[in-house]
Copies of this chain bind each other. A is one copy, B any other.
Amino acid sequence: MTKTNRRGFLCAAALAGLPAAPLQTSAQTADATQPARDVTRTLARYLVAARAGDLPAKVRKEAARTLLNWVGCAVGGSRHETLDIAIAALAPFSGRAEATVLGRPQKLDIFQAALLNGISSHIFDFDDTHLKTIIHPAGPVASAILALAEHQPVTGEEFLHALVLGAEVECRIGNAVYPEHYDVGWHITGTVGPFGAAAAAGKILKLSEQQMVWALGLAATQPVGLREMFGTMTKSFHPGRAAQNGLTAALLASKNFTSSNQGIEAARGWANVLSTSRKYSEITSDLGRTFEIAGNTYKPFPCGIVIHPAIDGALQLRKAHQLTAAKIERIDLKVHRLVLELTGKKDPRTGLESKFSVYHAVAAAIARGTVGEKEFGDAAAKDPELVALRGRVTAEVTPAVAEDQVHVFITLKDGRLLEKQIDHAIGSAKNPMTDAQLEAKFATLTEGVLPPRRVRRLIDLCWNIATLPKASDLARAAAG
């Protein structure tokens, strides 16, 4: 018997589709209390039955904040070269131009709009973060359903509800496999994103329970995103493609395109194939009683969370003492070890590199009084004032300093020593961005893309999403 034949015959095993034992198991983290066969259906049943009227006020409020942050990021990223390129490559093949590319004048078909809005909302790494799993929940979900809302009538209340459910599905599935799934090398936003987009779009399409099961199965079979792509345009492609995949899944399922009944939990389903562990109760427990979106967070600065405390401290000292770069003799930081492991670049030469320099970030905070995308641009990385100032910043790893803490010491040329300890940086779970801060972030992101009056109107539409007769008004207001 030849090797070729032996392998050839394996094909028959594949065709027979026989059940198989889980191929990657981890006894330590497996959850014996939840029968693995009901996970996908339990989730689908909940999604189909859920009613917008049952959403707690706190959840509605956080969903509006999530939406505001997402629209701001998408409009802000909309003029980036990444979008220009994607549009140049794909728009010639667009279908009916019915869905808005936020911040842009043109409409495209709903799949392309979903892709492009998902890309632009992630370009600056400035979007929302579900801290337990580092999923960016809004991108895949909001991109899919906003496009769908321009294809068929969707009320603001339906939209809000679908956004909550989509984020719920993403984050619960993420909770079940994090961090092992992420450690394998998957960009979790892109791999759970199709589930969230499928669930949200499926809710809007009023899928039956069986159709929702199939939609989740179709999402399971289309994961997107290797972490290897970080640092390239393909990173922001992930949430966009996830949105498309989930939208495709929901539309196919709405016409009864069949899929597995156990796409998530089967022996060769998503969780077994893409993760080395799984805790299914994270997906099925307390559905409708807890809401993951309630713990969503928003970054105040477009860079790794690890250097947010230092930026926060520097900005606070600057404001309290009217600091300028010229007044500074030196800046000394006591930081957690991750700060130097991840953002220890002494002399970043490009804007992208500067995101990984705590020295640059603190210098920008002092010299400019704001740390936005501009401060991480190529020009800022080469700005002589920033280059000089960051050369006078030191950072020392200090075991007593926790990850969301920093101790900032600034020595002024006049001899004074200023000091600030940050215990929970702005934007962290214990010190969330206020509504006003989110509005200010939105204004900064959209500046130069949309006229100021439209910015105000768009902010108001986000806050009042639940009362809009047509969710698509949001998209129209965000057109460039």
Query: Which A residues are within 8 Å of any B CB, using their own CB?
Result: 1-18, 20, 23-24, 82, 85-86, 88-90, 92-96, 109-111, 125, 129, 131-134, 178-179, 182-187, 190, 214, 217-218, 220-234, 237-238, 241, 248, 251-252, 254-260, 262-263, 266-270, 272-273, 295, 297, 303-307, 336, 338, 341-343, 355-356, 402-404, 428-430
Contacts and interface: CB of A to CB of B under 8 A. Distances in A.
A15 to B, nearest CB: 4
Contact of A179 (B7, B229, B232, B343): B7
A356 B14 CA distance: 11
Contacts of A237: 218, 221, 252, 257
A336 B1 CA distance: 11
30 contacts: A1-B403, A4-B131, A5-B430, A7-B131, A7-B134, A9-B306, A10-B179, A10-B182, A12-B305, A12-B338, A14-B182, A17-B230, A17-B231, A18-B341, A24-B184, A86-B252, A90-B252, A93-B111, A95-B109, A217-B229, A218-B234, A221-B224, A221-B229, A226-B268, A226-B269, A228-B260, A229-B260, A234-B260, A237-B252, A237-B257
- Stoichiometry, copies per complex: 2
Given A94-B95, A224-B221, A403-B6, A11 B229 contact: no
Nearest to A262: B228
Nearest to A180: B23
B134 A5 contact: no
A13 B336 CA distance: 13
Q: Which of A11, A129, A220, A269 has the most CB of B within 10 A?
A: A11
A257 B82 contact: yes
A224 B222 contact: yes
Contact of A404 (B9, B85, B221): B9
Nearest to A308: B12
Contacts of A272: 185
Contacts of A269: 185, 226, 228
Contacts of A110: 93
Nearest to A253: B89
Contacts of A18: 341-342
A429 B2 contact: yes
A317 to B, nearest CB: 22
B343 A12 contact: yes
The 5 closest A-B CB pairs, nearest first, are A12-B304, A12-B306, A17-B230, A185-B268, A8-B131
Nearest to A232: B258
Contacts of A86: 252, 255, 257
Contacts of A429: 2, 4-5, 8
B270 A258 contact: no
Given A13-B342, A304-B11, A234 B221 contact: yes
A89 B14 contact: no
